[in-house]
Copies of this chain bind each other. A is one copy, B any other.
């Protein structure tokens, strides 16, 4: 498989982001996580026309293009949430990042956004809840909420977001070439397997 682009979806606390970064380092290709994609989208100062023109492959392309085409009319954004607008911009950003060449993209439903490409390896990282709970407390510290509640809340948000924008079930193996249990396999082994799968 001549993979150029690797997308990584992950349960919160499974180490998917760390795995993604290490895969990118091992392959010597750029690493884009959610924050970076958001930043690119927000900082790029896309002209509305540009976004409208480049968002045609996104799920809400028509509504989006329509909203922007109506921008001179007061209240034209009614009915489009900030999340929807950001989603559309991010679809466009992710498609353009993929066009640039090989890379690793973590999160942002990139597997779905790039579904029409044939050079993408989609990966899903999960782990048992006890190991994820231990990991988030170690990395992000304690909080008022129990770690299990934090995990469930974040995963629920990711699941709903994925379902909303893609119509697919988050974490269903059919959407991914590889689903890996980072708890059973270790972070290092996951990196090794993804690198091997991409070659």
Contact = CB atoms under 8 A, between A and B. Distances in A.
Contacts of A186: 1
A173 B177 contact: no
A178 B171 contact: no
A126 to B, nearest CB: 6
Interface in A109-147: 121-122, 124, 126, 128
Nearest to A181: B177
A180 interface: yes
This chain's copy number in the assembly? 2
Contact of A180 (B1, B178, B184, B185): B178
B185 A193 contact: no
A6 interface: no
A174 interface: yes
Interface string A164-193: 000000010110111111001110010011
A196 interface: yes
Contact of A185 (B171, B178, B192): B178
A160 interface: no
A197 interface: yes
A179 B178 CA distance: 6
Contacts of A121: 184
19 contacts: A1-B185, A1-B189, A122-B184, A124-B173, A124-B179, A126-B173, A128-B174, A171-B173, A173-B173, A174-B181, A176-B179, A177-B181, A178-B178, A178-B179, A178-B193, A185-B197, A189-B197, A193-B197, A196-B196
